[in-house]
Amino acid sequence: MEKVIFMHESIDGYRNYIYSVVGFFVVEDHILNTGNGLVNRSYLDEVWGMALSTIVNALRTNSAYCTDATLMLKIKNLIMLFNTTLRNYGYSVNQLSELLHEIRDHYNEVLMQRWVQVFREMLDEENFLPIQVSVQTEYESVVASFPFQDAILEKSPFPKRFPFSSLVPNVYQQVKEFIYACLKFSEDLNLSQGEVDDMIRKSTNLLLTRTFSGCLSSLFHKPSLALMQVIQIIIDTGFLEEATVYLEEFVSNITGSPQEGQLGSRGQGHLFRVARDDAEKQICEKLKHKLDEFLELENYDWLLGEPQGHASSFITDLIAFLHSTFQSFTNLPDKVAQEACKSACEHIAKSILNFMLSEDVKQISMGALQQINLDTIQCEQFAASEPVKGLEEGSLLHYFIDLRQLLDLVMSWDWPTYFHDYGQDNNKYNRVNPNTAIILLEKCREADKKTVFSVLKKSERDKKKLLETVLKQLRQLALTAQQH
């Protein structure tokens, strides 16, 4: 009865071990019945009782190392045959029945690992583009593989475009394959319909929330994944979540148990919550990266005499890109689109502000400020146009308020109001930090020095004095704020 090492590597190891055990106890039973008292029942039961623990431990330990689902099904059938044989000879086999339940749990974990590979390969090959079909047979093939009905799409002419990519029907079919595979181990284990149903639902829920969701989260960290692909993945997960009701129905049909809705809260983002959170972050990050490609084209003339009279080309291109991008957000959950839009506006506003405050920029003329003002107005118009639905009015404009107040203050030279209302709730320039104002004014002062003969004009000399006075007061404010 000693444990056989590396029995898990092939079914032959298990077969040889179990056959030797069966042979021993069948022979002992034969001696019991024909040996004229050579052995008795209590002796045989005692030997079986001692042997059973060793047998169960040997099978448990070796099966725990097994990573081949097909081999595990063979092991299960062999143990069941062993179980039935020994029970027919009058031996107690309860521990073997319990062992089969343990092995079933491990079998489900092995299946999970197999499907990790299935999902990874599927995601590697996927292009994350909406399915497009050109003929009726292609259309029927898609709706046969995934439960989707859309009266408008059905009536529309070819080519027809589905809102989801091929990932959706492929994953849906693989989940059904997984359910069938789970069911295979439970066959003939004398489990109730309820037990089988509960096991399948829990395993399927884990497959989606942990295995598939984990594969998605890994995918999001690939630099090659484009913004539009991330958007499509979020749309796809939404369709998969909506389809859980059909998977629940599928499980009920094959187990004979009523639907219990254990495959997650349909449509509530429960199944793929972790992956969805990752995707939302990735949308914001990839959107910022794309915006940076436009913002890097900034080429302000910081000593500009007069503004162009219209927004800079890099800003108009950036706004056109945003309009196009947010139109593609229509199938996304509102919250995701809103967060992405907020993130974009915040990033643009901070970037424009940083252009002015950059240490690389030493002088800024009033003409350059006016050009930045025109660009900011263009961005504010975009923010006010409700690029995505469901946002509170003015919520996007809030991200431009620091930039807007600073530009208004410096361009209108409204310093008396700023100093008079500083620190009060009704201060119209309450978002302007004295240190920020100092940085910008010092750059304006440097630009003024470039003006030829400006020192000869009394108006310019007066303006210079006023600027120095403002700077002095700002430094005093900054010092006071620092002390407090």
pLDDT tens digits along 247-296: 888 888 877 767 655 555 444 446 677 777 788 888 888 899 999 999 99
384-394 mean pLDDT: 88
pLDDT digits (tens, 9 = 90+) for 170-229: 999 999 999 999 888 887 777 777 778 888 888 888 888 888 988 888 888 788 888 888
468-472 mean pLDDT: 87
Q: What is the pLDDT of residue 234?
A: 86
What stretches of 328-433 show up as alpha helix (H) in DSSP? 334-357, 366-384, 401-412, 415-421
On whether the 297-482 domain is CATH 1.20.58.670, my answer is yes
User: Where residue 398 falls among pLDDT bands split at 50, 70, 90?
Assistant: very high
Asked if residue 75 lies in contact with residue 14, where contact means CB atoms within 8 angstroms, the answer is yes
How far apart CA 282 and CA 483 sit, in angstroms, is 41
Q: What is the pLDDT of residue 265?
A: 46
Helix (H, G, I), strand (E, B) or coil at 130: strand
Judged on CB neighbours under 10 Å (0-12, 13-18, 19+), 211 is buried
Nearest Cα neighbor of 165 from 141, 129, 132 is: 129
Helix (H, G, I), strand (E, B) or coil at 380: helix
Nearest Cα neighbor of 326 from 385, 413, 394, 392 is: 385
Asked if residue 96 lies in contact with residue 83, where contact means CB atoms within 8 angstroms, the answer is yes
The residue type at 445: R
User: Where residue 371 falls among pLDDT bands split at 50, 70, 90?
Assistant: very high
Judged on CB neighbours under 10 Å (0-12, 13-18, 19+), 110 is buried
Question: How many contiguous H segments (helices) and E segments (strands) does the chain have?
Answer: 19, 2
**H or E stretch covering 439:** helix 434-449
HSE at residue 415, side-chain half, CA atoms within 13 A, is 17
Query: What are the tokens at 277?
Result: 């959170």
Asked if residue 153 lies in contact with residue 162, where contact means CB atoms within 8 angstroms, the answer is yes
Residue ranges of domains in the chain: 11-99, 126-275, 297-482
pLDDT of 317 strictly over 90: yes
52-63 mean pLDDT: 86
Kindly give, in sequence order, each residue whose CB lies less than 8 Å from that of residue 170, ignoring residues fewer than 6 positions away.
122, 126
Q: What is the pLDDT of residue 201?
A: 85
Handedness of CA 182, 184, 187, 189 (dihedral sign): negative
**H or E stretch covering 209:** none
Q: What is the pLDDT of residue 372?
A: 95
Distance in Å from the first CA to the final CA of the chain: 81
pLDDT of 453 strictly over 70: no
Q: What is the pLDDT of residue 266?
A: 43
How far apart CA 19 and CA 16 sit, in angstroms, is 5
Kindly give, in sequence order, each residue whose CB lies less than 8 Å from that of residue 166, ignoring residues fewer than 6 positions away.
126, 127, 131
**Phi, psi of 331, deg, nearest 5:** -90, 0
Q: What is the pLDDT of residue 434?
A: 93
**H or E stretch covering 150:** none
Number of residues assigned to the chain: 484
User: Where residue 446 falls among pLDDT bands split at 50, 70, 90?
Assistant: confident
Highest average pLDDT, of 45-49, 155-159, 198-202, comes from 155-159
Kindly give, in sequence order, each residue whose CB lies less than 8 Å from that of residue 369, ignoring residues fewer than 6 positions away.
356, 407, 410, 411, 444
311-332 mean pLDDT: 90
Return the percentage of the chain with pLDDT > 90, whole number.
35
Q: What is the pLDDT of residue 123?
A: 92
Provide the greatest CA pair distance for the chain.
135
pLDDT digits (tens, 9 = 90+) for 92-134: 888 888 888 888 888 989 999 999 999 999 999 998 999 999 9
55-61 mean pLDDT: 87
Paired strand residues for 133: 160
DSSP 163: E
Q: What is the pLDDT of residue 364?
A: 92
On whether the 126-275 domain is CATH 3.30.160.70, my answer is no
Q: Cα-Cα-Cα-Cα dihedral of 239, 245, 246, 249, to 10°?
A: 170
458-465 mean pLDDT: 70
Query: What are the tokens at 272?
Result: 């793929």
Query: What are the tokens at 103?
Result: 């092995």
Who wins on pLDDT, 168 or 8? 168
Q: What is the pLDDT of residue 316?
A: 95
Q: What is the mean pLDDT of the chain?
A: 85
CB 172: neighbour CB atoms within 10 A? 20
